[in-house]
Amino acid sequence: MNKSEQFWKNLDRAIAKSGQYGIHYSQSLYFHDYKPEKNKEIVDKINEYYLQIIEDRDKRGINRYITAMDCSGMSILIHRFLTQLNIPSMLIIGDMSIQGHIEYETTYQYLENELNNIRSSKIQYHVWVIVENFMIIDPTIRLKESEREDFLNKKTNSGVFISDIEKLPQEIEYIPYLLGEEFLHKTNPNPFI
């Protein structure tokens, strides 16, 4: 099974598990291709909005380290922005692998414990957005990885990682576990927005 087939299998499991845990998500996505011009328009709007988010957080005095680690809050903002533009998208809670190394060690037991207020000392999941045109939007991965030091030292505002699910770089794999904003609100009443 290749990486994209595994993603779709994991997404189906995430849909089922979300229902099993009573987590509602705003909409189901009907995955289909958009015209290249529409994709470019979406990417441009997301990049522009992302810079507004960074500038706003800087003005409010939010430490850039917190911004880099706030995949939940940043993804919620991107998802809500897309919703305002009538672009169907969904928040995904899960894990990722970079160069074969699992980053967060997410498990369903951990997520279930979080839902039942059995808190862990660290967050063991990652959050990103998927759009019905197969686009994955990860607003913090570059801040945590390749551009971390320059971002923290305000030498760059970095940017959003955006990729077609079928064309992800070989070294990156996204692993869906749950869907939607409700999990984030149930497990973190103040999601840094």
The four Cα atoms 16, 98, 110, 163 give a dihedral, to 10 degrees, of -40
| C-alpha–C-alpha distance, residues 70 and 85, integer Å | 23
| C-alpha–C-alpha distance, residues 121 and 10, integer Å | 26
Q: Which of 86, 85, 82 is nearest to 129 (CA)?
A: 82
What pLDDT, on the 0 to 100 scale, is given for residue 191? 52
Q: Is 29 exposed, middle or buried (0-12, 13-18, 19+ CB in 10 A)?
A: middle
pLDDT value at 190 more than 80: no
Total-model pTM: 0.92
In a domain, residue 28? The reply is yes
In a domain, residue 177? The reply is yes
In a domain, residue 192? The reply is no
Q: Residue 146 CB: number of other CB atoms within 10 A?
A: 12
Q: Residue 149 CB: number of other CB atoms within 10 A?
A: 9
What pLDDT, on the 0 to 100 scale, is given for residue 128? 97
Sorted by sequence, the CB contacts under 8 Å of residue 110 that are 6+ apart come out as 120, 124, 125
In a domain, residue 78? The reply is yes
| 75-88 average pLDDT score | 94
| 51-64 average pLDDT score | 93
Domain count, the chain: 1
Percent of the chain having pLDDT more than 90?
A: 63
Q: Tell me the sheet residues that pair with 164.
A: 135
Segment 148-188, tens digit of pLDDT:
888 888 888 888 999 999 899 989 999 999 998 889 888 87
What pLDDT, on the 0 to 100 scale, is given for residue 61? 93
Domain encompassing residue 52: 3-187
First to last CA, the chain: 38
In a domain, residue 193? The reply is no
Q: Which of 191, 137, 102 is nearest to 110 (CA)?
A: 102
| 61-66 average pLDDT score | 90
